[in-house]
Amino acid sequence: MTALPRLTAAEAAARLGVKPESLYAYVSRGLLSRERDAAGSWFDPLEVEAFAGRRRRPPVAPRGATPGTPLMVLDTRLAHVEDDVLLYRERSAARLAREQTFEDVVRWLWGMSELRPPDADDLQLARRSVASLGDAARPLDRLVAAVTALAAADPLRDDPAPEHLTRIGARLLTGLPAALQPTRPPGPVAPTLWRALGGHDDAEGERLLDAALILVIDHDLAVSTLAARVAASARASGYGVVTAALGAFDAPLHGTASRAAWQLLRTVRDGEPAAPAIARAVRDGGRGIPGFGQSLYADGDMRAAVLLDLLRRRPATAEVMSAVDAVTAEVSRRTDSRANVDLALAALTLWAGMTADAGGVVFAVGRIAGWISHARDEYDERPLRLRPRGRYAGPPAAE
């Protein structure tokens, strides 16, 4: 039997009625396979046809919940992972992190010439709101308070014009790092955030923080990103979008996962052997090995690889990197799991002398750029399209 001619990526995307970015997202999720050679990517026409048929037929919902099964597949115009490479609109996130500042990347993504900060009165309101929480408040609590204060001070917060999303995003990206400390005026995001979290200036550290912020802008449809899009589907303001996203973000399986990784690395850096430190972290956390595992990559989270490489090249990082290497080696001896971005954020913030919660703040501030980008895309869609239909599964009526 003569084999059917393979489809190019453009032909396969056209057959499915999607953009090439969506096609590659299907590949990254394991929904479609492909072959690659010097001429490009190729797809089996029979597999594409079968997949097209499955997309046309609404799936039958199972009686019970299936852990890890996505509720839906949404087209995204911002990021995707292809061949273990994270791309922002087809530009390598790794290269952007090595060569650009966070502001450069955000201005490019949003099509803006500048990111305008909040005025002095609005910033002071945000700072007073943060200070009112007291010393016991977590850094993410402070971010939420500052978002609320900047929203309350913005008379245009509810203007439905899409351009207000990026205006609000600029206020948040520049205002939140400044609101976390009492004196520094708004300025470049990385230096201001570095000072707020670390308490000192360090040009080398600020450049690393720039790279970290870029690497966490977006990463498929994380639960916080989905929350942002759901809020945008109801036409929430930019503040509402970010607040909704932060609610989903503030969770040990997502935005605050670097805390446990930080504690593990600090224990090993301070002299405990890696094996018992890992055993205790796994036992106490109950969520696997902190800082390891990322299902979108076959050969490891490239964000971690880039950030750890940049950190290794900086002076005075030997102690922290020795802890990273000891933990990684011990994990590699026993599993196939690879380091993820949470371990890299933990290593960066531990080296910088920041607290265990600092990695989550870096992650959240960088991800705001992605949440606002997704909200802009969702504003182009039909309102309330992300409202699912519930199916009653409670006890039957009494007879």
2 assigned to some structural domain:
no
The answer to whether 23 touches 12, Cβ cutoff 8 Å, is: yes
Looking at the fold, whether 137 and 195 belong to one and the same domain comes out as yes
Looking at the fold, whether 214 and 278 belong to one and the same domain comes out as no
Looking at the fold, whether 209 and 278 belong to one and the same domain comes out as no
Q: Which tokens in the block code for residue 64? A: 């019970």
313 assigned to some structural domain:
yes
Q: Report which DSSP code applies to 7.
A: E
pLDDT surpasses 80 at 170: yes
Q: Tell me whether residue 347 is exposed, middle or buried, using C-beta atoms within 10 angstroms of its C-beta: 0 to 12, 13 to 18, 19 or more.
A: buried
Residues in CB range of 270: below 8 A, 6 or more apart: none
The confidence score (pLDDT) of residue 3 equals 58
- Return d(Cα 126, Cα 170) in angstroms, integer: 15
The confidence score (pLDDT) of residue 2 equals 47
The confidence score (pLDDT) of residue 54 equals 62
Looking at the fold, whether 119 and 204 belong to one and the same domain comes out as yes
Average of per-residue pLDDT across 49-58? 64
77-86, 95-104, 225-234: least confident range? 77-86
Looking at the fold, whether 324 and 184 belong to one and the same domain comes out as no
32 assigned to some structural domain:
no
Q: Where would I find the H helices in 40-162?
A: 45-56, 93-99, 102-110, 120-131, 139-152
Residues in CB range of 381: below 8 A, 6 or more apart: 233
Chain centre distance of CA 387: 23
Looking at the fold, whether 172 and 241 belong to one and the same domain comes out as yes
> What is the per-residue pLDDT across 334-381, written as a single tens digit (0 to 9) for each?
998 999 999 999 999 999 999 999 999 999 999 999 999 999 999 999
Domain boundary among the residues 203, 222, 252 is at 252
Q: Is 307 helix (H, G, I), strand (E, B) or coil?
A: helix
pLDDT surpasses 50 at 384: yes
Looking at the fold, whether 296 and 340 belong to one and the same domain comes out as yes
Looking at the fold, whether 243 and 106 belong to one and the same domain comes out as yes
pLDDT surpasses 50 at 332: yes
Looking at the fold, whether 248 and 279 belong to one and the same domain comes out as no
The confidence score (pLDDT) of residue 286 equals 78
The answer to whether 80 touches 25, Cβ cutoff 8 Å, is: yes
Domain boundary among the residues 252, 274, 290 is at 252
The answer to whether 393 touches 244, Cβ cutoff 8 Å, is: no
> What is the per-residue pLDDT across 63-91, written as a single tens digit (0 to 9) for each?
444 444 556 678 899 999 988 899 999 99
Average of per-residue pLDDT across 129-143? 94
Looking at the chain, how many residues does it have? Answer: 399
pLDDT-derived band at 92 (thresholds 50, 70, 90) equals very high
**Angle of the 238-249 helix axis to the 139-152 helix axis, nearest 10:** 170
Domain that holds residue 174: 100-252
Looking at the fold, whether 264 and 236 belong to one and the same domain comes out as no
- Return d(Cα 160, Cα 251) in angstroms, integer: 30
296 assigned to some structural domain:
yes
CATH number, domain containing residue 149: 1.10.580.10
Task: Please give the tally of structural domains in the chain.
Answer: 2
Q: DSSP labels for 158-184?
A: T---THHHHHHHHHHHHHHHHHTSSSP
pTM (2 d.p.): 0.83
Q: Which tokens in the block code for residue 302? A: 């490239």
The confidence score (pLDDT) of residue 63 equals 44
pLDDT top residue among 178 and 41? 178
> What is the per-residue pLDDT across 253-300, written as a single tens digit (0 to 9) for each?
999 999 999 999 999 999 999 999 999 999 988 788 999 999 888 889
Looking at the fold, whether 246 and 278 belong to one and the same domain comes out as no
Q: What is the overall mean pLDDT for the chain? A: 90
Q: Which tokens in the block code for residue 173? A: 């990206």
The answer to whether 281 touches 290, Cβ cutoff 8 Å, is: yes
Domain boundary among the residues 218, 252, 286 is at 252
Looking at the fold, whether 106 and 246 belong to one and the same domain comes out as yes
34 assigned to some structural domain:
no
